């Protein structure tokens, strides 16, 4: 079972801890992380979510996404989720992971039975991982591919329905990732 720390609307941790299923049934605010992985050509690795995901099933998404468990720090979450979803060990590169920004988003899925009410801590990593190095966890991911940053911009600007998006957060994301890439 996964347990999350509960946050207030200002992003401050409360003393409460909640189980994953209950958090998504009630819409309690908690934290998650996104890691955008770029290669030396400034292409971004994206994943297609598994068909059996609670939210965003079958849609393309960020390189790695995952909940920050109540017993974990962000560094261990980044390492664990990347290993779980993609089979990649980023621990040797953890010092190269850059914090980008945080946004809050809420959504309702599955006819009102699943609520995502989360703060998203966004990170980026420039590393040369080859597609054949990826070992996908079938319960989480069904495909991966690299796309150009321009393709990602078009997907977000045009609100491509094949890509699971956080409309407000992803508009800010483009600016933040452009800044990240310009300094690498």
When pLDDT is averaged across residues 23-33 and rounded to a whole number, the result is: 93
The model's pLDDT over 43-100, given as tens digits with 9 standing for 90+, comes to 999 999 999 988 888 999 999 999 999 999 999 999 999 999 999 999 999 999 999 9
Lowest mean pLDDT among 10-24, 105-119, 134-148: 105-119
Number of domains composing the chain: 1
Of the chain, the percentage scoring pLDDT greater than 70 comes to 100
| pLDDT band, residue 111 (cuts 50/70/90) | confident
State phi, psi for 61 to the nearest 5 degrees.
-160, -175
| 109 has a pLDDT exceeding 80 | no
Q: Could you read off the pLDDT of 36-55 as tens digits, one per residue?
A: 999 999 999 999 999 998 88
Q: Are 34 and 123 in contact (CB under 8 A)?
A: yes
Give burial (CB, 10 Å; 0-12/13-18/19+) of 175: exposed
**Rounded to whole angstroms, how far apart are CA atoms 94 and 39?**
15
Q: What is the pLDDT of residues 2-11, one digit of tens each?
A: 999 999 999 9
Q: For residue 90, what are the domain limits?
A: 3-182
CATH code of the domain in which 34 resides: 3.90.79.10
């Amino acid at each position: 079972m996964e347990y999350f720390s509960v946050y207030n609307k200002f992003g401050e941790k409360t003393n409460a801890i909640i189980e994953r299923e209950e958090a998504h049934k009630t819409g309690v605010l908690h934290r998650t992380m996104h890691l955008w992985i770029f290669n030396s050509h400034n292409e971004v690795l994206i994943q297609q979510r598994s068909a059996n995901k609670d939210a965003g099933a079958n849609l393309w998404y960020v390189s790695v996404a995952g909940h920050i468990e109540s017993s974990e720090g962000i560094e261990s979450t980044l390492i664990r989720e990347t290993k779980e979803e993609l089979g990649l060990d980023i621990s040797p590169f953890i010092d190269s992971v850059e914090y980008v920004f945080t946004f809050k988003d809420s959504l309702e899925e599955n006819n009102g039975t699943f609520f995502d009410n989360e703060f998203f801590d966004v990170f980026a990593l420039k590393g040369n991982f080859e597609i054949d190095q990826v070992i996908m966890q079938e319960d989480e991911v069904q495909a991966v591919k690299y796309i150009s940053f321009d393709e990602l911009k078009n997907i977000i600007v045009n609100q491509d329905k094949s890509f699971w998006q956080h409309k407000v957060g992803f508009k800010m994301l483009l600016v933040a990732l452009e800044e990240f890439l310009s300094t690498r």
